[in-house]
Structure 1
Amino acid sequence: MKKLLIPLFSIAILASCGTAKISDNGQNTSKSSRGLTKAEKAFQAAYKNIELEDLKKNLTVIASDEMQGRDTGSPGQKKAGEYMINFYKNQGISFPKALGSYYQKVPADFMKKRGGGNLPDSENILAFIEGTEKPDEIIVVSAHYDHVGTRNGVVYNGADDDGSGTVAVMEIAKAFQSAKKSGNGPKRSILFLHVTGEEHGLFGSEFYSENPVFPLANTVVDLNIDMIGRDDPENRGKQYVYVIGSEMLSSQLKIINETANKKTNNLELNYKYDDPNDPERLYYRSDHYNFAKNNIPVAFFFDGIHEDYHKPTDDVEKIDFSLLQKRAQLVFATAWELANRTDRIAVDRKE
């Protein structure tokens, strides 16, 4: 997540998620499997594809010293990007046809004009699953894959910030792809958007919002994941996640997310930072904001400011992978409902 350098002072009826109650081990607890609907069975099978061991495997690579802290445009970040693309290729998940590859170039000049100094050219990475019934409507699941690089010879691995979000998006994509392979692909299209330049100024998401591969008018929502692998001192040991922005622009999104949560791991949803006037200003500090300012509903999933934030001690060994898995499953369940519900969620509020 971007570091804050200067301190700045009628309920809609929710369509059925089609998600039976899922316990921690991924098993149905509210119905016998024999009594599940087709939609519920499809969800349950896909949900189980968000696997703790795969999260650990991918994060161990993404946040390794070999990636040199993944600074924007650096060789280490490009190496991490190659690993992610190979993952998508192995899963059979392609890129948007209009883009022609997994890469969307973010030019150095674009970043320099916005305070990016002498950053080199970099890339957003986009993977895409086309919807079966409403392919022109796009659900975005995003995370930044850059971190702050190497300082004074010490690698800042950014395992939580935002390696955790990066691997969560990869697993969520894998889950949707498994549903597609079984003939239950999402009705709306899903864009898995890994953005660059977040730490320096939200540059990758800003570039995408100004140069969208899909029209912003067709973009239903952005579910943004930035740091979901740890806990903060205030919530030590709790099964929780901060959710920010989910009712800023749509009266339906918060309800959908809360319903998905109750039907899965039932985490404590903490809304402490869900206020644009909060002193930490977290609503403005990650990539979802470049969607929100374009009137696209957003939900930002976050674990809080912990003692290793932006320090070289943000390492894989400190990740709570069980909690990371549960939070990724929540985002997946929310995306599943948004992708498969009959009606697109309404934009019925203003910031």
Structure 2
Amino acid sequence: MKKILFLALPALLAACGAQNKNIENADPMDYANTITADELKEHLYTFASDEFEGRNTGEPGQKKAAEYIVNEYKSQNIKSPKGMSNYYQVIPTEYFKGKLKASENVLGFIEGSEKPEEVLVISSHYDHVGVDDKGNIYNGADDGGSGPVGLLEIAEAFAQAKKDGYTPKRSILFFHITGEEKGLLGSKYYTENPVMPLENTVANLNMDMIGRIDPAHEGNDNYIYLIGSDMLSTELHELSEEVNNKYMNMDLDYKYNDENDPNRFYYRSDHYNFAKNNIPVIFYFNGVHADYHKPTDTAEKISYSALEKRTKLAFLTAWEIANRDARLVVDKAEDTVAGN
């Protein structure tokens, strides 16, 4: 028995050591590089297939998509948030005023090692618009597909870091949102019924349409539109720029980062429900294209090299936010933002 214990001791100590590594010694690019075009493509060819019937809010295809996400989190040993019996935040039909069937936000969670009460929310909506009267399936590969598969890869990267002993200092909530296409209803429901207090939410990084190249950047897979990064926190904007300069060197396009942008993109995706609650946000967006909200938004039209780069940038930004010593400072009041 003594011999067995002696042999087991090094393994036990190694396991304990793995839980206590100094995250400052980790290279986040090691984990960013687990995000690959091939894995993103594999996810998206399933997620944006006819099997999911356009993922319309409350319909069977959306629920299949939610199950797909949950199964991925289970396979990565990513848990649901504390206090939840499963990964689903159910939104009852009454909330939709009976116009939609009950639907589900899907939540994965990694608890922080040093500041578990503080949470970074990384989000993307996974719903789309379903099937039209003629039977055309709107697969939504870019709109409602590229973001959530990117989020799955980001979660996997953080899970691998945790497995290696580098648990983020702050908690991270991986938030797959329903009802975005119906008026940002899933994120609205969450901010009215948060699983962790909104005052403890340090930032929201939101990805919606990150898999295509718009006409203004034809031939360039190394750009992304950033929206909202400086609306509430100068510090968040500066951090975002520094992370990009250090690791990715992407072309950060701020064309739509304007309160008076006629497209009003700042107000048209789920990050805005966080911004309304004085939570700093970044919205990652590839711009519009001819297949927007058409049955032709399909997986073979995605630029997987662009999707990989954008997902890596969001991950690296999240890593910095989650592991910095102090939480981001909000130095601009939300009520100064136009459109309220």
After TM superposition, the score normalised by the length of structure 1 is: 0.87
Q: CA deviation at 1:44?
A: 2.5
- SS at structure 1 position matched to 2:225: strand
The answer on 1:272 being equivalent to 2:255 is: yes
2:293 corresponds in structure 1 to 310
The answer on 1:68 being equivalent to 2:68 is: no
2:152 corresponds in structure 1 to 170
Q: Aligned match of 1:144 in 111, 122, 125?
A: 125
1:121 corresponds in structure 2 to 102
- The CA deviation string for residues 66-92 of structure 1, in whole angstroms up to 9 with x for no partner, is 000000011011001111110000001
- Extract structure 1 runs of 4+ deviating beyond 4 A: none
The CA distance in 1 between the partners of 2:262 and 2:277, in whole Å, is: 23
- The CA deviation string for residues 254-306 of structure 1, in whole angstroms up to 9 with x for no partner, is 11111111122211000011012110000000000000000000000000011
Q: Cα gap change, 1:275/1:290 in structure 2, threshold over 3 Å: closer, same or farther?
A: same
2:18 corresponds in structure 1 to none
- SS at structure 1 position matched to 2:96: helix
> Greater shift after overlay, 310-319 or 254-263?
254-263
2:19 corresponds in structure 1 to none
Looking at CA atoms only, which structure, 1 or 2, has the larger radius of gyration? Answer: 2
1:160 corresponds in structure 2 to 142
Contact 2:51 2:61 in 1 (8 A): yes
1:8 corresponds in structure 2 to none
Q: CA deviation at 1:99?
A: 1.7
1:341 corresponds in structure 2 to 324
- SS at structure 1 position matched to 2:95: helix
- The CA deviation string for residues 176-224 of structure 1, in whole angstroms up to 9 with x for no partner, is 0100000001000000000100001100000000000000000000000
Opposite residue 229 of structure 2, the aligned amino acid is S
Q: Give 1:151-230 correspondences, 5 Å limit.
A: 151=132, 152-230=134-212
The CA distance in 1 between the partners of 2:51 and 2:171, in whole Å, is: 34
2:232 corresponds in structure 1 to 249
Contact 1:42 1:179 in 2 (8 A): no
The CA distance in 2 between the partners of 1:38 and 1:204, in whole Å, is: 33
2:81 corresponds in structure 1 to 96
- SS at structure 2 position matched to 1:264: helix
Contact 2:23 2:168 in 1 (8 A): no
- SS at structure 2 position matched to 1:104: strand
Contact 2:126 2:145 in 1 (8 A): yes
Q: CA deviation at 1:316?
A: 0.3
The CA distance in 1 between the partners of 2:103 and 2:306, in whole Å, is: 31
Opposite residue 80 of structure 2, the aligned amino acid is F
Contact 2:23 2:167 in 1 (8 A): no
Q: CA deviation at 1:38?
A: 6.6
Opposite residue 99 of structure 1, the aligned amino acid is M
The answer on 1:51 being equivalent to 2:36 is: yes
Contact 2:232 2:330 in 1 (8 A): yes
RMSD (Å) for aligned C-alpha atoms: 1.1
The CA distance in 1 between the partners of 2:149 and 2:193, in whole Å, is: 25
Q: Aligned match of 2:215 in 192, 208, 233?
A: 233
Q: Cα gap change, 1:222/1:139 in structure 2, threshold over 3 Å: closer, same or farther?
A: same
Q: CA deviation at 1:237?
A: 1.5
More helix by share: 2
Give the length in aligned residue pairs. Answer: 311
The answer on 1:262 being equivalent to 2:245 is: yes
Q: CA deviation at 1:46?
A: 1.4
Contact 1:140 1:222 in 2 (8 A): yes
Q: Aligned match of 1:290 in 245, 269, 273?
A: 273
> Greater shift after overlay, 303-312 or 254-263?
254-263
Contact 2:23 2:166 in 1 (8 A): no
Opposite residue 128 of structure 2, the aligned amino acid is H
- SS at structure 1 position matched to 2:319: helix
Flag structure 1 segments of 5+ consecutive residues without an equivalent: 1-36
The CA distance in 2 between the partners of 1:103 and 1:179, in whole Å, is: 25
